């Protein structure tokens, strides 16, 4: 027997229909759970956010606006520097 063919056969996965069915069902269940999570199907508390979350969102929006403004100013400065 050739050692290379023995090595290949020992590294392959078993081809049983039961294992294949379990893998397929696990992939389907995982995909369904991820899609459900992305669609937020099981929301338990939908009363709105409290004031600390709103404050955090305002601070985050201000920081994001400042970062975008800084990037825009740097971009315009670099392009106008080309014409001087």
Q: How confident is the model at residue 35 (pLDDT cuts 50, 70, 90)?
A: confident
At residue 4, does pLDDT exceed 80?
no
Higher local confidence (pLDDT), 15 or 72: 72
**pTM assigned to the model:** 0.39
Cβ–Cβ < 8 Å for 19, 13: yes
Secondary structure class of 25 (helix, strand, coil): helix
CA distance 39 to 18: 32
Q: How confident is the model at residue 82 (pLDDT cuts 50, 70, 90)?
A: confident
| Segment 32-48 mean pLDDT | 73
Token output for 79:
């392009």
CA distance 38 to 4: 46
CA distance 5 to 2: 6
CA distance 66 to 74: 12
Q: How confident is the model at residue 64 (pLDDT cuts 50, 70, 90)?
A: very high
């Amino acid at each position: 027997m050739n050692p290379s063919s023995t090595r290949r056969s020992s590294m392959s996965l078993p081809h049983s229909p039961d294992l294949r069915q379990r893998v397929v069902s696990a992939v389907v269940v995982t995909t369904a759970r991820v899609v459900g999570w992305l669609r937020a199907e099981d929301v338990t508390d939908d009363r709105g956010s409290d004031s600390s979350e709103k404050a955090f969102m305002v601070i985050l929006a201000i920081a994001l606006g400042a970062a975008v403004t800084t990037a825009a100013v740097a971009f315009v400065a670099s392009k106008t520097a080309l014409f001087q």
